[in-house]
Amino acid sequence: MSEFVVYHLELDGKGGARELDTCDLPIKVPNEGCRWVHLDGLDNESRSWLADLEQVPESVVEALFEEETRPRTVKMGQGLLVTLRGVNLNPESNPSDMVSLRFWVTPHFIVSSRRRRLLSVQDVVENLVNNEGPTSTADIVSTLTETLTDRMANVMANLEETLADLEESIGEDAEKDQRHFLRKRRLEIIRLRRFLVPQKEAIHKLWQESSTWMSPLQLSQVQEAANDITRYVEGLESLRERCLLMQEEFANLQSEKMNARMYVLSILSGIFMPLGFLTGLFGINIGGMPGTENSMAFWLFCGALFVLGASQFLLMRRSRWF
């Protein structure tokens, strides 16, 4: 198998598939059976082969190999172009860095491309190897849509759980780490929502456009995926609001701490202001200062300052300044 072809499968209609070689790649869109070609979107040979394939519009080639995509469903030529996003569950990857899956599907042929590995595709291929996979192109589409959506459930649950833990720990130590953690979670929510909102519309349109060539069971799978995406989008809205509330809480805690420190400084300033005035006044080195001839004058002055400071403290305490 050439490197630009990730999978080239011919479905047997019974849940299994036969892997074909590169030399068996079609030269025009098949109009019988069920063929699935999954391409490496980073390889130029993939683009060249698809561009030479008869009955494939140029707009399909452009859409399958463009760098940045947003989820959508568009009717192109004799098939349907679908672009979806799945959470990134590759090792050492951020799930919110979503991976795109693009495919063009007809009743007998599906060509898809990837730029990064997507576990949902591997799941479908493994099921085909075990004779437990889809039986038609419509079944591949509905299964991929359902699998992509199902894999988001754990990511959403983890976000919900981590934010709940953070809400419970607000006000404890390591506030700086908490704010950093909240910032990361909020960015994940923004990235997920960026693609899930249009994906909801894309799956809903897929359900509408495929009503003539999908079975009722397959349509129900797509409809259920659309409902799940809608629920995830609503959940992300709720999580975003909770993040904003927690940010406000962090700001309030910071303000309270700052006000408490300023209050203490104000109290100290109020106590030491008259004491500073007196020490400054008696610190001038000119003639006529009282007590300069008395050896006890320094200690008497210190005692007077102590009594004055204590009196101010008791007066503020009685007035409930603190």
Indicate whether 95 pLDDT > 80. Answer: yes
Least confident of 16-30, 148-162, 239-253: 239-253
pLDDT for 253: 77
pTM: 0.75
Q: Is-contact 163 242, C-beta < 8 A?
A: yes
Whether 232 has a pLDDT exceeding 90, the answer reads yes
Report DSSP letters for 271-297, one per residue: HHHHHHHHHHHHT---TT-TTTT-TTH
Q: Which domains does the chain have, with CATH numbers?
A: 5-253 (3.30.460.20), 262-318 (1.20.58)
Query: pLDDT exceeding 90 applies to what percent of the chain?
Result: 36
Bigger pLDDT: 297 or 15?
A: 15
pLDDT above 60: residue 2: no
What is the reported pLDDT for 305? 78
CA angle 199, 204, 210 (to 5 degrees): 120
- pLDDT value at position 171? 64
Q: Is the pLDDT of residue 1 over 60?
A: no
State pLDDT tens for residues 158-193.
988 888 888 887 766 556 677 788 888 888 898 899
Q: Per-residue confidence at 309, pLDDT binned at 50, 70, 90?
A: confident
DSSP-derived letter for residue 270 is: H
Query: Of 40-54, 141-155, 256-270, which range is least confident?
Result: 256-270
* The pairing of beta strand 72-76 with beta strand 99-106: unpaired
| Model confidence at 252: pLDDT above 90 | no
Task: Bin 118: left if φ > 0, else alpha if -120 < ψ < 50, else beta.
Answer: beta
pLDDT of residue 244: 86
Instruction: Please report, in angstroms and rounded to a whole number, the separation of the first and last CA atoms in the chain.
Output: 80
Mark 18-56 as b/e (b = at least 16 C-beta within 10 Å).
eebeeeebeeebbeeebbbbbbbbebeebbebbeebeeb
